[in-house]
Amino acid sequence: MLFPLDSMEHAASGDKKMLRTFCIAFLLLNCLPAPGASCPSFSGKAEDVLLQIEHAWAKALDQRDAATVGCILADNFEDLDIDGAQHNRAEMLARIPQRPQRTNQLDEMQPHVYGNAGYVRGLNTVLDAQGKVIAKVRFTDIFVYQDGQWLAVAGQEVLVKEPSK
């Protein structure tokens, strides 16, 4: 059960801190795969497997599916967003359920594998619920191959600005 955030205004200072900690813990527990929950399976170290992961990641974001994204991200994952702000895995997963309805269309993806490391560069066209383009974002996601699976360890997004007229 989630507590309304506005109820925090009426709590004492110590209670606010405890309530905030509880809310964050609750969100994290509900964003992580449950024991025995099935994560998407991507086998092999080939470049096309990285593309499959990117598409599953984009679809999971579209569906606000933090559990699936949690399966893709390494425990030490870090991301730099389009504003240059850095986010760790827990922060990223906690924000997924509150995301506005969006669709991510991936294009121009270029996967590269070097032994147990790989990265994907691509273009994400973000659409609103009516299909209107909101933004175009260039991204680079870095992966490591551990324990028979690819895990994302870092990501960076850059907003593509429209050319001046």
Domains in the chain: how many in total? Answer: 1
Q: pLDDT band for position 40 (50/70/90)?
A: confident
Rounded CA-CA distance 113/144 in Å is: 9
In a domain, 17, yes or no: no
Q: pLDDT band for position 137 (50/70/90)?
A: very high
| Whole-number pLDDT of residue 105 | 98
Region 43-67: mean pLDDT is 96
pLDDT of 109 over the 90 cut: yes
pLDDT of 106 over the 50 cut: yes
In a domain, 14, yes or no: no
In a domain, 117, yes or no: yes
Region 30-57: mean pLDDT is 78
In a domain, 153, yes or no: yes
CATH number of the domain at 120, please. 3.10.450.50
Rounded CA-CA distance 65/57 in Å is: 9
| Whole-number pLDDT of residue 164 | 62
Rounded CA-CA distance 90/76 in Å is: 9
In a domain, 23, yes or no: no
| Whole-number pLDDT of residue 43 | 84
Region 141-151: mean pLDDT is 96
